[in-house]
């Protein structure tokens, strides 16, 4: 297991996130930093960001809250070491605080590595080809 910290994003993380995902832009990071329902949680090893999860809390048409995972990215060098799992645990901790009913991934075109990850996190593929996890508060 790699010794890393998991924390909320700060604007100084922008360059490290761009190294992980060149499709990100400054305005999306800024909006997530300011909106309590939009979050980016990062995994940091020493001075480097090695992964992140981006998600939002939304209401469905039945007024149930759900945590929607926009993306989860881990640097290739650190995959398989529990980084993604720890990021997911932090998202689930946030879901619990907001009385979320289920977690769902927005992606519907998964590569094999993502399928394995979501299966290991106890998500199930729903009828819309999105991974979903019922979330029961304890």
pLDDT in tens, 41-80: 999 999 899 999 999 988 877 788 899 999 899 999 999 9
pLDDT of 22 higher than 90: no
pLDDT of 85 higher than 50: yes
Give SS3 for 138. coil
Query: Confidence band (pLDDT; 50, 70, 90) for 136?
Result: low
pLDDT of 138 higher than 80: no
> How many structural domains are present in the chain?
1
- Domain that includes residue 54, residue range: 5-134
Structural contact between residues 104 and 68, judged by C-beta atoms closer than 8 angstroms:
yes
**pTM for this one?**
0.86
Whichever domain contains 9, its CATH number is: 3.40.630.30
Best CA proximity match to 44, nearest among 78, 80, 72: 78
């Amino acid at each position: 297991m790699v010794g890393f910290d998991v924390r909320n994003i700060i604007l100084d993380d922008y360059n490290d996130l761009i190294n992980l995902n060149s499709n990100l832009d400054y305005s999306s990071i800024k909006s997530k930093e300011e909106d309590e329902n939009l979050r980016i949680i990062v995994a940091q090893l020493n001075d480097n960001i090695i992964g992140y999860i981006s998600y939002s809390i939304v209401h469905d048409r039945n007024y149930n809250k759900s945590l929607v995972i926009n993306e989860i990215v881990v640097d290739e060098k650190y995959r398989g070491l529990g980084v993604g799992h720890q990021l997911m645990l932090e998202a689930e901790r946030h879901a619990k605080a907001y009385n979320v009913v289920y977690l769902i991934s927005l992606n519907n075109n998964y590569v094999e590595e993502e399928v394995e990850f979501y299966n290991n996190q106890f998500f199930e593929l729903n009828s819309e080809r999105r991974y979903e996890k019922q979330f029961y508060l304890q």
